[in-house]
Chain A
């Protein structure tokens, strides 16, 4: 394999990692604040993809803008779901089984509403950009992937600013670290949880919309990405936002380069194999490798 090919694959992996990271932030946020394993994540991603498609077909909205607008819509949807359903199930310091099953039910409902509205056939968003490429010396860059990467990057920067600089962000981080102590210092847990759940679904929607510009999709399309998100947040140590980015990169690299040795049909199995290995060998995720940060 030539050096140019290696560089091409590296770039492809990096571009993929951006989407993977943004897709996993929603899951990490819901886990961190509420200790929820949000199985409905897949359903919200599907919803994001279809809303982006509808905005593109009916309103002629550019899919990248559409994905961002969709994120806004899904913020509201997520807060609604939280207010209506999620706040009624018990949550604790560890994810509870009722919350897992509840969100699984939400996934089933969303998925099948998707089937009812949009049918079973695969859809794709095709714009003039879809097949364009950018050549930088020996490296070929698909334009749409670069743009998606940039949008994902902006999303990540916004998230980091919000988490780092605002009262809401500080409340989220406090809740992630210690629920009880956060209550004592006067954080409104219910309100923060609702906003965070909304933000989590907004990220799911954004990721869904962005993925829709890269791949074809049907109402079932969230499933494999949900599992990838799990792999990523488990690799990332479940609660560390930097870990999520790292996890996304590791999975993207592994998937991209494994094509060289493993038949493409087994690619999915690879990431799930990685999940099991990660859960067993590294229950603390990649950050636990940097032991000095964990073992205080």
Chain B
């Protein structure tokens, strides 16, 4: 974990010098180097698998943050995009023999299109009503996927590939996707686009009054988030080689995608990354033996965060840092 200072997304830092861009991009590059070096230091299939899953989760977590953290729209329905990405990729690879990387992209694009189909009616609703509608959408899509012939229905779909399985390739793809997502949030955090999104989050009516179309920006944020989530779903599907609606389309998947950024720190650059990494690693360690304790812990954590530290882990770190520096200031 690099210094907490660099995790702070400068509010409204639009058009600031390239040095400050560099200051925020450097930790991302560093994280990429560290991630790329891990297999060289520790070439153990279990570690690689654990990190692969963590990266996929981090990508979805960053994606949710674009909609939930920047634009302030809570969605319980990201399993829809994750599942669509997974199934699109799986079908394209198995049935059409499409190159996997193209298939990932297609999964993401399809998810983004789906986000528009959902968003155009659902963003007519404000705040909590949108959230409730996403619960309905998520369950509806899962039920349809369960009954669809094309995908093998509830019994799942096996991804068959004609090339040998190379775990490291999967690892690096997942790492690159996660870094790409992170870079995207950095760009969002520092450009007018991100500013518009945050304006919509903070006060929709005021944003509209200064010429920002809230509906349009919500749609854009939703589509970007869906694109990333769909790609993550595809990356996961090809690695897992078997997917079923009860997994990728499950309501719990959408819940996990929501919990990670909230726990890490909404609207921050690094919060969703830490949230995703911690969630992924803890889940993989606990889920085999205590699947319930895992979600129980996160439920309690969610309650505590809402009550005491809405800024999540990043907010907590900042608070600790402030305390420490205040203490030092008095001491000297």
**A-B complex is real:** yes
| Residues of chain A at the chain B interface (Cβ within 8 Å) | 37, 85, 88-89, 94-98, 100-102, 104-109, 111-113, 115-116, 223-224, 227, 230-231, 234, 263, 265-266, 268-269, 272-273, 275-276, 279-280, 283
Interface positions of B from 220 to 263, Cβ below 8 Å from A:
251, 255, 262
> Across the interface, do A94 and B300 meet the contact criterion of CB distance under 8 Å?
no
Q: Which residues of B contact A (CB under 8 A)?
A: 72, 74, 121-122, 124-129, 131-133, 135-137, 139-140, 143-144, 146-147, 251, 255, 262, 291-293, 295-296, 298-303, 306-307, 310
Picked from A97, A112, A227, the residue with its CB within 8 Å of the CB of B72 is A97
Overall SS of chain B's interface: helix
The 10 sampled A-B contact pairs (Cβ below 8 Å) are: A37-B131, A97-B72, A106-B299, A108-B298, A109-B300, A266-B144, A273-B136, A275-B133, A275-B136, A276-B122
Given contacts A101-B74, A102-B307, contact A280 B121 (CB under 8 A): yes
Interface of A is mostly: helix
Flag if B132 contacts A279 (CB, 8 Å). Answer: yes
Q: A residues within 8 A CB of B135? A: 227, 230, 272
**Inter-chain contact B306/A263, CB cutoff 8 Å:** no
Note all chain B residues with C-beta closer than 8 A to A115: 291-292
B133 touches A276 (CB 8 A): yes
Taking a contact as CB atoms under 8 Å apart, the answer to whether B139 and A105 are in contact is no
Is the beta-carbon distance between B299 and A276 smaller than 8 angstroms? no
A100 touches B128 (CB 8 A): yes
Q: Report A-chain residues with C-beta under 8 Å of the C-beta of B298.
A: 108
**Residue on A with the closest CB to B126?**
A94
Identify A108's interface contact among B124, B144, B299, CB under 8 A.
B299
- Least distance between A26 CB and chain B CB atoms (Å): 16
Cβ–Cβ < 8 Å partners of A102 in chain B = 302-303, 306-307
Closest to A108 in B: B299
* Distance to closest chain A CB from B253 (angstroms): 14
Across the two chains, which residue of chain B brings its CB closest to A109?
B299
Do residues B129 and A279 form an inter-chain contact, with CB atoms below 8 A?
yes
Q: In whole Å, how far is B233's beta carbon from the nearest beta carbon of chain A?
A: 21
Q: Which residue of chain B has the shortest Cβ distance to A233 in the bound complex?
A: B132
Roughly how many angstroms separate A224 CA and B136 CA in the complex, as a whole number?
Answer: 10
- Structural contact, B147 and A266, CB atoms closer than 8 A: yes
